[in-house]
Structure 1
Amino acid sequence: MKLTENHSDNFFKNRKKYTLVILFIFFILLFILSNSLSGYYYRILLLFGINVILTLSLNITNGYANIFSLGHGGLMLAGGYTTALLTLPVEFKANTLSLPLWLEQAQVPFIFSIILAGIVAMIVGLTILLPAFRLKGHYFILASLGINIIMINIAENVRPITNGATGLRGAPPYTNIWWIFGIAIFLIYLIWTLLTARFGRAIKAIGKDQGLAEAMGVNSAKYKAYAFMISSFFTGVGGALWTHLILTISPSSFDLLVVFQIIMMLVIGGVSSISGSILGAAIITAILEILQPLQEGINLFGFEIPRMFGLTQVLLAVFLIIVMIYKPDGIMGEKEIKLLSTD
C-alpha cells in the first residue's frame, strides 16, 4: 500500500516538474515568435490561440457534459459588444451612438472589460438556455440556435447602442500573444483541474448516461448549469479577444458559419479531449488561412485559377467527411497526451 502511494506521489511530482519545464519553454517560444513573425503569420498565430479558447470552452458542454449547443455564436457576440462598448474611444461613442452618459464616458482597463464580457455572455446564455434544459436531443439543439438568432436581431435593431447592421469599429488593439495564450493556458489548467475533481466525475457521468448518473445521486440540472456557465464565460472572453484583434464587430461577425467552424475544430480533434481541441483548432485555422487565397483567385505554376467563392467551406466539408469516415471519434478520440491525461 505504501509502495503504491509513494509511486503515485512521485508520479504527480514528476508531472508537475515536467509541466513547469514545458511552460517555461513554451513562454520562451512565445517570446521568440512575437518578435520574429511578420504581421500576417503573427495574426494567424493569434487566431489559432483564440480558436483554442473557443474550442476548449465548447468542449466543456458539447464534449464532457454532452450538451450539444449551437448557441456559442450569440455568446461570442454578447462578449464582443460588451468589451467594445467599454473600451471604444469616447469621441466615437459620442458621435455615433446614443448611450447613457456613464457608458459613453466608460474607459475600462482591458482585463476588466474581458471579465465583464465573460459575465455578460454567461448571463445571456443562462437566461435564454436555462429553461431549455428540460428539452433533450434535437429539440435542445434547435432551442440553442435561438441564442444566435436572438442576439443577432437585438444587435441589428438596438441601433443607439450597437449601431445596427453597420456595427462598431475602432476597438483598441489590446489583444496580443500574451493575453491569448495566457488565458488559453489558464483554461487548460482549469479544465484539467475540474476533470480530476468531483465536478469532472459528475459531468462525465452525465455525459455518458444522464439517467444512470441521476440514479446514483448526481444532480444533473445543477452540474449542467455549472458546465454551461463556465463554457459561456470563456466563449464571451474569446469573443472579446477576437474583437480587439479584428478591431471591428457587427451582428454578422459570429454567424452560423463561425459556429460550425468551431464545432468542426472540436469534432475533428476529438470530443472530450483537451489535446483534441488544441489539435483541431490548429488544423482548421491552418486550412482556413491556406485555402483563403484560392477563393480570391491565384496564379499557380502559370495556371490562372479564377475566383471561387465558398471553395474553402466545400473543401472543409470534404475534409470533415474524410476524417469522420476513418476517425469517427476524431483524431485524438477521447485520448490525451500523457501530460494532460487525468488518469
Structure 2
Amino acid sequence: MTNPGKLLRLVLGAVLIATAARAETLRVAPSRLVEWKSVYGQVETRNRVPARARIGGTVVDLDVSEGDAVTAGQRIARVVDDKLDFQLASLDARLEAATAQLETATADLDRGEELIKRGVITAQRLEQLQTAVDVIQGEIRSLGSERLVIEQQVAEGEILSPEAGVVLTVPISRGSVVAPGEAAAVIAGGGVFLRLSVPERHAGDLVEGAEIEIGSSAGQTGTLVKLYPQIEGGRLQADVEVGGLDPRFVGRRMPVRLPVGEREALLVPEAALERHGGLDFLTIAEEGAERRRAVVPGGTVSREGEAWVEILTGLAAGESVVLK
C-alpha cells in the first residue's frame, strides 16, 4: 500500500516541475530612455498685423469686432475727415470758374482767328489769345489733379484688413478720433503654433525636428520647428507645429513634454511585479532556483503596446527575472 505522504510529495514535485518548465525568464539589460521636461506652450499666430488708419479723422463705420474672421482687403472701418469735403467743394468751385473762363477765352480765340484772316488784328494779338486759352486749360488740369488727390485721400478713409485671419483686438469705436497710422484692429493670420519658453539649461538638449508630446490630448504630438538664438531672462523661445491646433483662442496655454536627453534604465514587464504588504517584489532566477526580492519601481513606459516598469533599486543588469 502506497504511503499517502509520499504520494503527496510526488504530486507536489510534479506540479513544481511543470511550473518551472512553464515559467519564462527575461535577462535584464539596460535600455535607453528619453528624459522629458514638462513645460507650458502658448498658442500664437504666425502673423499679428495691425490694420492702420491711412488718414486722420472720425470713425463713422466699424464693421468688425473681436473674434470675427476677415479676408485680405476686407473693410474694417471707415474714417471721415470733414476738411476733405470742404476742399473738394472749393476745388469744384474753382473748376467751375476756370471752365467759364475757358469758354470765354476759347470764344475770343475763335473771333481772333476770323479777324486775322481779314487783317483786323495782328498775329501777336492772336498768340496772346491762344496763350490765354492754354493757361486756363493748364489750370483746369492742375485743379483736376488736385481733386484726384483729395478723392484718393477720401477713399483711404476705408481701413482695410492687411491679410486674412481673425480679429484679435479692436481698440477703437464709432465716433473715435484717429490719427494717421493709428491701429484700428489687430489681425492674427498665417496659422497657429505653440510658442514655448524653455529654461536655458536645456537649450543644448533641444534640436529642430524633434517630436514633442502635447499633454492636453492623449497621443497628440507636434514637431519642434524653430529655436530662437536669443535667450532672454534665462528662457529659450521655441516654436512647435501641431496639427489640428484650435485657433479660436490665441494665448491659450497647453502642457507640453520636451525631450531633453537620454539615460539608461532597467525595465521589466509590469506583470512581473508582485505587491505584498506595501512592497514590490520580483522573482529572480539564479543558480537554478527562484528567489523573491524586494525592489523599488519607478515610472511606467509603453513598449510595443505593453506596460514596462523602470526598476530603480534591487535589480542589476544581467540578472534573469521570472515572468508570470
Normalised by the length of structure 1, the TM-score is 0.19
Higher strand share: 2
Higher helix share: 1
- Scaled by the length of structure 2, the TM-score of the pair is 0.20
